[in-house]
Structure 1
């Protein structure tokens, strides 16, 4: 009997299913990787938006006469 057949016999119904991160948490490793990808992308979008807002408030606003300090 080959290793694959032994593994299939040992795992039973779970053979071919993707592993979860923790036994009590129903999240697969692929789902976790997608979550990390999306949150990283969201963080970079947030950083870009923060830089754009800072640039607007710091340079463009005073050039247009907004937020004058007396």
Structure 2
């Protein structure tokens, strides 16, 4: 791969090739990033809901057990 770029100017390697890659694969990159962000958001919502459920269950079970101690 190095032999291909050996005789070319620096701007071809560091500007033109990445721009062409972004044009060709840009929609794919955006789709993958969007999917990853969507999955992370769903995981965050799931964790928040489970934490809230655990909090509510512990709150009610601790208050009911303290009432039975009376």
More helix by share: 2
- The higher radius of gyration belongs to 2
Tell me the TM-score normalized by structure 1.
0.51
Tell me the TM-score normalized by structure 2.
0.51
Cα-Cα RMSD: 2.4
Q: How many residues align?
A: 45
Unaligned 5+ segments in structure 1 are 1-21
Q: Which runs of 4+ in 1 moved over 4 A?
A: none
2:48 aligned with 1:54, yes or no? yes
Unaligned 5+ segments in structure 2 are 1-14, 63-70
2:33 aligned with 1:35, yes or no? no
